[in-house]
């Protein structure tokens, strides 16, 4: 399997970044983008500089002043054109993303389709986004309207680039704003390709800039820029906290989609076949590099042995391989450095007394030698309070815990700084309802896992985030709300002389 069947330079000239409507070489340093399947250099991306950020914000503000005055249905039409462009380039976008992230082509194809769907959904939501006439309480007509903020800073991680870019750009544009997007250092290529599609769609120049670069340089410059009125960030909780501090200095609103350490709970009455498939998909799809990965598995003590025996056999059968191989289920991790970080977590788990039931190593063989592969891993024997069960590993590593009663289960499932997602496997609708309502998580899946719909809001509780994405209200997150009172009183005002 050769990854080089994507001629990257024909997809995106990576030495150019998009600054205020102009494609040109970034003012920062060059950085190599690596294919994690074999360690080869795909291309060199020239980072943006702080001066590029200044220019992008100024250009964005100018473009937004006109864009924000356009009628919603006119803006919606542009969002459809962007979706058309994504769909027309779907195959090459997916292949490019597979090269840059290592992910399976099946997954990157789904992410591309989801990005197009996000633009279409936000177009539809925009056209049906009604302003509010509020109930009259006095001699005035009262209403509440939403207005654009101006320039939005969008900062995204490396794990699902085009989908997370679209989740920020589409609602921000819909709401009448400009966007300055900063993709992650490891995976800028598909975001640059999306920038090309946006430019080609005829969107007013300057409305979207794409500025790859380091978080501490370009990301920080965007967050602190006085011309940026809101930042929408997806990434780790440590970075999210830094951004929240910087936002506090400016009193700027932020949306933060952060990390997770999500529990998956199997109840005694669960359909074991379905639960095993769901648990596997929940943790090992995307090689575990997913904020919502179901990384802590809670099993009822009475059935733990039987379940684990079947689970471990199923994990050992998972096909680890190149993302472009259609048979692959577990692709390489995004970068060799990240693979080493995951391996470090497993080594520390072993040292702490954890029992590695399967995996716990890099796979052997020529096909894997140069890539950032790590075997799907199951670890038992550690307490929920252990670092392995508390820290986000962001790799194909599942911790197994057992429980005897529901109160103890809920307490331990909630004993985490995170509150992003949860999976429940049970045939009893009452158990599902009761436990789903007791779990601290922005999303709970019942007899399924990792399903997503753009029409359903997504958010994190506790240290998993602030604000929401997706859903009709997703557009409102990129607006400022204003109330208007129209005086109707025909009688003279009591203060009238
Ligand atoms: P990260 O926090 O290291 O980086 C995310 C982005 O922030 C990158 O573009 C990075 O360059 C930028 N950044 C870094 N420091 C910055 C700073 N000081 N100021 C501004 N920007 C800065 O995260 P990552 O390693 O790229 O991604 C993995 C993390 O993302 C995991 O924790 C995962 O759970 C989280 N994530 C969350 C969601 C969600 O929706 N909740 C979705 C995907 C990923």
Angle at 319 between CA 315 and CA 321, to 5 degrees: 135
Ligand 1 close to Cβ of residue 78 (< 6 A): no
CB environment 421-458: b (16+ within 10 A), e (fewer): bbbbbbeeeebbeebbebbbbbbbbbbebbeeebeebb
pLDDT higher than threshold 50 for residue 9: no
Q: Which residue has the tokens 């506790």?
A: 462
- Ligand 1 center to 358 CA (angstroms): 29
| Candidate from 166, 234, 235 with most ligand 1 atoms within 8 A of CB, to mutate | 235
Establish whether residue 293 lines the binding site of ligand 1, counting it when its CB lies within 6 angstroms of any ligand atom.
Answer: no
Of 200, 204, 206, the C-alpha closest to 85 is 200
Question: Whole-angstrom Cα distance, residue 325 to residue 286?
Answer: 14
Which atom belonging to ligand 1 lies closest to the Cα atom of 157?
26
Question: 3-state DSSP call for residue 161?
Answer: helix
**Residue 226 neighbours by CB distance under 10 Å:** 8
257 is annotated as an active-site residue: yes
What are the tens digits of pLDDT across the range 300-319?
999 999 999 999 999 999 99
For residue 8, pLDDT over 70 is answered with no
Nearest CA to 45 out of 185, 230, 241 is that of 185
**pTM for this model (two decimals):** 0.96
pLDDT at 256: 98
Q: What percent of the chain has pLDDT over 70?
A: 97
Please list the residues that pair with 379 across neighbouring strands: 356, 399
Mean pLDDT across the chain, nearest whole number? 96
Q: Residue 403 forms beta bridges with which residues?
A: 300
Q: In 175-266, which ranges are continuous DSSP H helix?
A: 189-200, 220-224, 237-250
* Nearest one of 131, 94, 36 to 326, comparing CA atoms: 94
Q: pLDDT tens digits for 279-303?
A: 999 999 999 999 999 999 999 999 9
**Active-site residue, selected from the candidate residues 16, 50, 107, 168:** 168
pLDDT tens for residues 202-244? 999 999 999 999 999 999 999 999 999 999 999 999 999 999 9
| Across 10-24, 107-121, 401-415, least confident range | 10-24
Tell me the β-bridge partners of 25.
Answer: 16
Q: Which atom of ligand 1 is nearest to the CA of 469?
A: 40
**Residue 183 Cα: closest atom of ligand 1:** 9
Tokens of 204: 């007013």
pLDDT in tens, 360-380: 999 999 999 999 999 999 999
pLDDT score recorded for residue 15? 75
């Amino acid at each position: 399997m050769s990854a080089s069947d994507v001629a990257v330079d024909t997809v995106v000239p990576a030495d150019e970044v998009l600054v205020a409507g102009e494609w040109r070489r970034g003012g920062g340093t060059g950085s190599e983008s690596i294919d994690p399947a074999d360690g080869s250099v795909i291309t060199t991306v020239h980072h943006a500089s702080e001066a590029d950020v200044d220019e992008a914000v100024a250009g964005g503000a100018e473009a937004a002043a006109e864009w924000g005055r356009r009628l919603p249905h006119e803006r919606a039409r542009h969002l459809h054109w962007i979706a058309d462009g994504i769909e027309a380039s779907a195959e090459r976008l997916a292949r490019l993303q597979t090269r840059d992230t290592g992910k399976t082509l099946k997954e990157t194809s789904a992410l591309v389709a989801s990005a197009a769907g996000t633009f279409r959904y936000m177009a539809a939501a925009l056209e049906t986004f009604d302003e509010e006439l509020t109930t009259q309480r006095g001699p005035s007509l009262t209403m509440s309207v939403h207005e654009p903020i101006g320039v939005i800073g969008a900062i995204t991680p490396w794990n699902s680039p085009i989908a997370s870019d679209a989740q920020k750009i589409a609602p921000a544009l819909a709401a009448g704003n400009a966007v300055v997007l900063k993709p992650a250092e490891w995976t800028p290529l598909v975001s640059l390709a999306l920038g090309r599609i946006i430019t080609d769609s005829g969107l007013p120049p300057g409305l979207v800039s794409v500025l790859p670069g380091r978080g501490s340089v370009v990301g920080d410059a965007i967050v602190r820029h006085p011309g940026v009125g809101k930042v929408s960030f997806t990434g780790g909780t440590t970075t999210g906290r830094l951004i929240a501090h910087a936002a506090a200095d400016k009193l700027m609103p932020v949306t933060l989609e952060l990390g997770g350490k999500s529990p998956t709970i199997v109840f005694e009455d669960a359909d074991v076949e379905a639960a095993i498939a769901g648990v596997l998909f929940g943790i090992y799809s995307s090689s575990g590099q997913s904020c919502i990965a179901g990384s802590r598995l809670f099993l009822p003590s009475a059935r733990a042995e039987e379940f684990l025996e079947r689970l471990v056999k199923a994990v050992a059968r998972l096909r680890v391989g190149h993302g472009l191989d259609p048979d692959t289920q577990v692709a390489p991790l995004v970068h060799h450095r990240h693979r080493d970080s995951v391996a470090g977590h497993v080594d520390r788990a072993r040292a702490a007394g954890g029992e590695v039931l399967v995996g716990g190593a890099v796979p052997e063989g020529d096909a894997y030698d140069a890539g950032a592969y790590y075997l799907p891993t199951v670890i038992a024997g550690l307490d929920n309070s252990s670092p392995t069960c508390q820290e986000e590993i962001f790799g194909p590593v599942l911790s197994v815990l057992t429980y005897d009663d529901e109160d103890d289960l809920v307490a331990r499932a909630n004993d985490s700084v995170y509150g992003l997602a949860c999976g429940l496997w049970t045939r009893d609708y009452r158990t599902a309802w009761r436990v789903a309502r007791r779990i601290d998580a922005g999303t709970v899946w019942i007899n399924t896992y990792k399903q997503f719909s753009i029409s359903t809001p997504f958010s994190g509780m506790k240290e998993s985030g602030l604000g929401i994405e997706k859903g009709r209200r997703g557009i409102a997150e990129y607006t400022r709300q204003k109330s208007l009172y129209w005086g109707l009183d025909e009688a003279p005002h009591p203060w009238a002389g």
